[in-house]
Amino acid sequence: MNVIDVTGLTKSFNGIVAVDHVALRVAAGEIVGFLGPNGSGKTTTIRLICGLLTPDAGEGTVLGFDVRRDSARIKREVGYMTQKFSLYEDLTIEENLFFVARLYHLADRRQVVATTLDELGLKSRRRQSAGTLSGGWKQRLALAACIMHRPKLLLLDEPTAGVDPKARREFWDEIHRLAGGGLTVLVSTHYMDEAERCHRINYISYGKMLATGTAPEIVRASGLSTFVVAAPSSADLMARVEALDGVEQVAAFGATLHVSGVDRDRLAAALAPLAREDGVTVAPGETSLEDVFIHFMAAGEGGVANEERKPS
């Protein structure tokens, strides 16, 4: 069963298309990553899905409810965690959760809040003001507020921005625990390691969905090939490599350069002369998810530039 099943979703603001005929399907119990550059339409798509915005065009269902007619029902069944911390900083953790419980008209609020505090590891800090919490603890409180009404779908909009690696890992461990209990999760992120922890990934650029699949599937479908170039001074070599025929992107990793392009034979031929230089080695490498997304971003930017050059 698809918890999210929408097609043709379109939304414009002041004549600018933010979401352009997007189709998205998410099965029950999945953790699906939603990736794309800033301004790509991720947040707008999430708001269309959770009933906060009405699409200009398109159709489909979320949790079996129609995205156009049943937005109020969808809102009650979904947990939505925004990019910005939106709880009251002058209230304690416990007071914030009681406030949210009242908003959802939850029965036996005292027990619900106590259970939520315990499940999210917040019990020992329940009397601490939200404004004094670190980024990681604020994130945990925001997640607690999103799931205390036991939603069937959790929408997370760049939830780990600005938190340290330990807090990010703990957050993702919690997300996988929740998904193991049957919760479906759609999460937007800029972190490639987080994308790889998702069951599937959707990549959106300038309002259009460009790729859908598992991380290995998306890497394979991109057609990118990568070579690793090592040299005593890779910084000096970088400008030369960038100018070679068939090179699409170059990234420095320590003393090596990761060089990618869509035509493997052309790329190999361009790099071959370098391998004959003293101290320089060229070897096949593994294309990363980050390489693919930079490739998509470049393609998207090119498409926008072409659109801008079209006569009106």
Radius of gyration of the chain (CA): 23
* pLDDT at residue 39 is higher than 90: no
Q: What is the pLDDT of residues 250-306, one digit of tens each?
A: 999 888 999 999 999 999 999 999 999 999 999 999 999 999 988 888 776 644 433
Going by pLDDT thresholds of 50, 70 and 90, the confidence category of residue 235 is: confident
Q: What's the pLDDT at 309?
A: 29
Q: Find the range with the poorest average confidence among 190-194, 200-204, 305-309.
A: 305-309
Per 3-state DSSP, what percentage of the chain is helix, strand, and coil (rounded to 5)?
A: 40, 30, 30
Q: d(Cα 190, Cα 297) in Å, to the nearest integer? A: 13
Cβ(176)–Cβ(31) below 8 Å: yes
Beta pairing partners, 227 = 259, 284
Position 167 scores a pLDDT of 87
Query: Six-digit token pair at 236?
Result: 């000096």
Task: Give yes or no for a contact between 63 and 137, defined as CB atoms under 8 angstroms apart.
Answer: no
Q: Please, is 34 exposed, middle or buried when counting C-beta atoms within 10 Å of its C-beta (0-12, 13-18, 19+)?
A: buried
> If pLDDT is split at 50, 70 and 90, which confidence band does 162 have?
confident
**Token couple for 97:** 């959760």
User: Which whole number is the average pLDDT over 10-18?
Assistant: 95
Cβ proximity of 49 and 155 under 8 Å: yes
pLDDT at position 301: 60
Cβ(202)–Cβ(214) below 8 Å: no
Q: Looking at residue 192, what is its pLDDT?
A: 87
Report residue 243 CA to chain centroid gap. Answer: 32
Q: How are strands ordered across the β-sheet holding 57-62?
A: 16-27, 2-13, 57-62, 65-66
Percent of the chain with pLDDT over 70: 96
Q: How many CB atoms lie within 10 A of CB 283?
A: 11
Q: Is the pTM of this model over 0.85?
A: yes
What the chain holds in terms of domains, given with CATH numbers, is 2-214 (3.40.50.300), 219-309 (3.30.70.250)
User: 31-35 and 200-205: which strand pairing?
Assistant: parallel
If you count them, how many residues does the chain have?
Answer: 312
Q: What is the pLDDT of residues 49-78, one digit of tens each?
A: 999 999 999 999 999 999 999 999 999 999
Structure confidence by residue, pLDDT tens digits, 94-152 = 999 999 999 999 999 999 999 999 999 999 999 999 999 998 999 999 999 999 999 99
pLDDT value, residue 311: 32
